[in-house]
Each structure stands twice: as structure tokens, then as C-alpha cells.
């Protein structure tokens, strides 16, 4: 039995950060009913941004990242009949997921205050760009603006003096989704103690700041970002090029412990215990980090990345060749640990989907086939019948453009 079986989720959200919460909860056993407008979730078309194949309603891998394990209904919430349907859905719900602005939520009656008064056991989950307080609380939230840009990632993580790094769509959104899913589970546990639901508000800006905690805190101590890899804080934890044009990231964070080891590995035994370089405080005080980096880089250029990985592994010195996305798709470990899954779609085509980064034994590796996204309104009729509507009533609502089935 999956741990969230018996939990019912109503998902009114669009795009990535908040809908992905429903994907997580659904994968772990919750019944997730997605309610879309007649225009559909904008994320149905977002795959084109990163050239993910979109071959129709039943073959849309980018949409599946946020929409696996859901039932798809389409309801016109601007109509009285549509709002009546929503009320029926909410009457049995445990969780409501939204990402509307405050004004829109109040207009629809799905803001926290209204929902909590009417359905006090519902956990209300909302994703925003900048939170529900402060001067930017009503500004629209987008991964690129709130997370990547204002969150400091684009300006701080590139090389000093260089251009900004490139962004990847939904990178911050999906981090936020995992946090919101964890908060939802905490709220459900809390409800068992109090009998009442809770309000959860996540924001992309805060998510970025949390992920960059040590970097931001380091500024108080005098660290300056962006940093040059030729003059980092710790030369034994830095990126270096190899003979074959690849790159390796060494991970020796405790400099004094790793200094002699790296010098021996790169063939610079003449520098073992050298007082000019073997102490972190000394190289910081005397501005010699860049000199140590130059010594290590010269040594790293003697071998290929593959050769270095074997050398470092034999010494138990943590390191990793920098993978690009093609490397990942061909990585035996990614397939062996279940991170990459090849999923067959109704057309017979197979596409790669990425698993959640945590696995519950009670869930195992879920079978994604049969749980991929469906066309707009695919499940409207069976869901409405589940809530007591007759086929005749459903037909009439289709005719009046209250629903799409």
C-alpha cells in the first residue's frame, strides 16, 4: 500500500512549481484531480522551450514531469455550475493546490480564509514568486525572474568577469515543488493532531536563497561572488581541465588534509609539506590560492579525465568529471539507480522521464506507463460521475460549455 492512498488532492495550478507538487503526491499514492481551464495548463506547450518532444495530448514528456499520476478534468470556474462542481470536489478533499495571485484566489473563493472557513480540514498549498508578504507579494512569480535572476544564481555562479551562466527551464520550480510536497506532508501529520488543515506558502525567491545559503553567508565573511576558478577559496575543491579537454571537479574541502595528497597525485612531491602552500590560512593571508591552482592545473593537464578518475579513485580522493546532458543520458549509474526511466507511450514511442530523487520502499519504482498525461478533460466524466452527476447532467454541462469531457 502506498503511503498516501486515501488522500485526495485538488490541483488548480498551472505551469511547473505547484503542479509538480501534485505529481509527487500522486506518485506516492494520493488521488490527484487536476482542474484545468478551457485553455488548458500552459505547461502543456512549454516543452518547446527546451526542445522536449510534444507529439500530442498522449505523448508530452515535458508535461509529464509535473503531471504524472493525475486525473484530468476541465471545468469553467467562471460559471455557477463550474463553481458548484468545484465545491463538490473540495467537500471531500484533503489538499488544495493553487498558484493564483491573491486577488484571483479571492474572486474564485479559493483563498486560504474562504477555504479554511468552509473546509477547515483542507491543507491549502500555494506557490508564489516572492511570498505573501512585502512589497513584491503581488508580483507574478516565474522561475527565471524570481529564482534565477533575483535569487542571485545567474549573477553569482558564473566565472568572475565572465558572462552569466545559462538557465534551464523549471530548475527552481522543481526544487520548490519538493519543498512544498514536504510541507504538505508535515501539514497532513499536523492535521491528525489538531483536526485542522494548515496554510502553506512557498516562494521561488526564498527557495533560491535557501539553496545558496552558504554562499550568501560567506559574503558577510568577506567572500566575493562571482568567484574565479583560478583563485577560489579552496584550491583542492575546484574545477580543473584535463588533457582531453574535459573538466574534473576535485572535492577536497578541508584544504590542509588534502594538500599533500593532491601534490603527490599530480607528481609534485617536491612541494609536500611546503610551508608556502600547505596551510589554508597562509595561502589566504598571502594571496597564494591562485598559485596553488596554477600548480594543480599544470599537473591535471598531464592525463585525460578518465585516467584521472581512476587515479583519484584509487586514492579515495573525491572527484567527478563534469557531465553534460548527453553524458547523463548514457550514464550506467543513472539507469541503474532508477533516476532515468524509459517510458513507452500509447503511440509505441519511448521517451526518457526522470524519477523523483527519493524512493519509498512502499512505492518502489512506480510504473509510469499508463500514468502519463492525457488530453484536456480526459477524466472529467468519470470524476463527475464519482461525485454523483448523471450522464444526462454531464451532457448538458458539455452543451452549455461548463466542462470539456
Q: Are residues 136 and 24 in the same domain?
A: yes
pLDDT given at position 315: 95
Q: Which residues contact 159 (CB under 8 A, 6 or more apart)?
A: 226, 227, 228, 229
Count the alpha carbons within 13 Å of 128 in the hemisphere toward its beta carbon.
Answer: 19
pLDDT given at position 46: 82
Residue 234, domain member (yes or no):
no
**Tens-digit pLDDT profile for residues 352-364:** 999 999 999 999 9
Residue 178, domain member (yes or no):
yes
Mean pLDDT of 165-179: 95
**Tens-digit pLDDT profile for residues 10-44:** 999 999 999 999 999 999 999 999 999 999 999 99
Mean pLDDT of 264-286: 97
Average model confidence (pLDDT) for the chain?
95
Q: Do the beta carbons of residue 291 and residue 235 sit within 8 Å?
A: no
Domain, as residue range, for 306:
247-321
Q: Are residues 154 and 290 in the same domain?
A: no
Is residue 240 predicted with pLDDT exceeding 90?
yes
Q: Are residues 161 and 297 in the same domain?
A: no
Residue 223, domain member (yes or no):
no
Q: Are residues 280 and 361 in the same domain?
A: no
Confidence band for 58, pLDDT divided at 50, 70 and 90: confident
Q: Are residues 146 and 261 in the same domain?
A: no
Mean pLDDT of 65-90: 97
Domain boundary among 321, 342, 376: 321
Contacts 24+ apart (CB under 8 A), 386-393: 387/85, 387/88, 387/89, 387/92, 388/88, 389/85
Closest CA to 232 of 252, 261, 247, 211: 252
Give the active site residue among 11, 41, 111, 173.
173
Residue 238, domain member (yes or no):
no
Q: Are residues 135 and 278 in the same domain?
A: no
CATH of the domain at 43: 3.40.50.10540
Q: Are residues 104 and 193 in the same domain?
A: yes
d(CA 405, CA 235): 60
Domain boundary among 321, 341, 367: 321
Q: Are residues 18 and 135 in the same domain?
A: yes
Mean pLDDT of 295-317: 97
Q: Are residues 35 and 132 in the same domain?
A: yes
Q: What is the pTM of this model?
A: 0.93
Give catalytic status of residue 173 as yes or no: yes
Confidence band for 222, pLDDT divided at 50, 70 and 90: confident
Q: Are residues 259 and 116 in the same domain?
A: no
The domain total for the chain is: 2
Q: Is the peptide bond before 226 cis (omega within 30 degrees of 0)?
A: yes
Q: Do the beta carbons of residue 179 and residue 172 sit within 8 Å?
A: no
**Tens-digit pLDDT profile for residues 280-295:** 999 999 999 999 999 9
Work out the number of other CB atoms within 10 angstroms of the CB of residue 249: 14
Q: Are residues 255 and 377 in the same domain?
A: no
Residue 91, domain member (yes or no):
yes
Work out the number of other CB atoms within 10 angstroms of the CB of residue 288: 18
Q: Are residues 187 and 265 in the same domain?
A: no
Residue 236, domain member (yes or no):
no
Residue 269, domain member (yes or no):
yes
Amino acid at each position: 500500500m502506498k503511503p498516501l492512498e486515501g488522500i485526495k488532492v485538488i490541483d488548480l495550478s498551472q505551469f511547473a512549481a505547484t503542479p509538480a507538487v501534485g505529481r509527487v503526491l500522486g506518485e506516492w499514492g494520493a488521488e490527484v484531480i487536476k482542474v484545468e481551464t478551457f485553455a488548458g495548463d500552459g505547461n502543456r506547450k512549454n516543452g518547446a522551450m527546451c526542445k522536449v518532444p510534444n507529439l500530442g495530448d498522449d505523448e508530452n514528456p515535458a508535461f509529464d514531469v509535473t503531471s504524472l499520476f493525475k486525473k484530468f478534468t476541465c471545468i469553467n470556474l467562471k460559471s455557477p455550475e463550474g463553481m458548484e462542481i468545484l465545491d463538490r470536489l473540495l467537500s471531500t478533499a484533503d489538499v488544495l493546490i493553487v498558484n493564483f495571485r491573491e486577488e484571483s484566489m479571492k474572486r474564485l473563493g479559493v483563498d486560504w480564509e474562504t477555504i479554511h472557513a468552509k473546509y477547515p480540514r483542507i491543507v491549502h498549498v500555494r506557490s508564489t514568486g516572492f511570498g505573501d508578504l512585502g512589497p513584491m507579494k503581488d508580483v507574478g512569480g516565474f522561475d527565471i525572474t524570481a529564482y534565477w535572476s533575483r535569487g542571485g544564481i545567474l549573477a553569482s555562479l558564473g566565472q568572475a568577469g565572465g558572462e552569466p551562466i545559462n538557465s534551464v527551464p523549471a530548475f527552481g520550480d522543481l526544487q520548490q515543488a519538493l519543498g512544498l510536497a514536504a510541507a504538505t506532508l508535515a501539514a497532513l501529520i499536523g492535521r491528525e493532531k489538531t483536526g485542522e488543515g494548515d496554510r502553506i506558502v512557498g516562494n521561488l525567491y526564498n527557495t533560491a536563497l535557501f539553496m545558496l545559503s552558504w554562499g550568501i553567508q560567506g559574503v558577510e565573511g568577506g567572500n566575493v561572488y562571482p568567484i574565479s576558478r583560478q583563485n577560489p577559496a579552496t584550491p583542492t575543491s575546484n574545477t580543473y581541465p584535463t588533457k582531453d579537454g574535459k573538466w574534473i571537479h576535485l572535492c577536497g574541502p578541508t584544504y590542509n588534509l588534502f594538500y599533500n595528497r593532491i601534490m603527490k597525485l599530480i607528481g609534485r612531491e617536491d612541494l609536500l609539506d611546503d610551508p608556502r602552500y600547505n596551510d589554508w590560512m597562509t595561502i589566504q593571508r598571502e594571496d597564494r590560492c591562485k598559485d596553488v591552482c596554477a600548480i594543480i592545473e599544470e599537473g591535471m593537464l598531464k592525463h585525460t579525465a578518465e585516467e584521472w578518475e581512476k587515479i583519484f579513485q584509487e586514492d579515495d580522493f573525491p572527484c567527478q568529471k563534469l557531465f553534460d546532458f548527453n553524458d547523463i543520458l548514457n550514464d550506467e549509474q543513472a539507469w541503474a539507480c532508477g533516476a532515468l526511466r524509459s517510458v513507452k507511450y500509447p503511440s509505441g514511442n519511448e521517451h526518457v522521464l526522470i524519477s523523483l530523487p527519493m524512493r519509498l520502499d512502499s512505492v518502489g519504482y512506480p510504473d509510469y506507463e499508463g500514468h502519463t498525461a492525457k488530453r484536456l478533460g480526459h477524466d472529467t466524466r468519470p470524476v463527475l460521475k464519482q461525485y454523483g452527476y448523471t450522464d444526462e447532467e454531464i451532457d448538458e454541462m458539455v452543451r452549455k460549455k461548463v466542462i470539456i469531457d
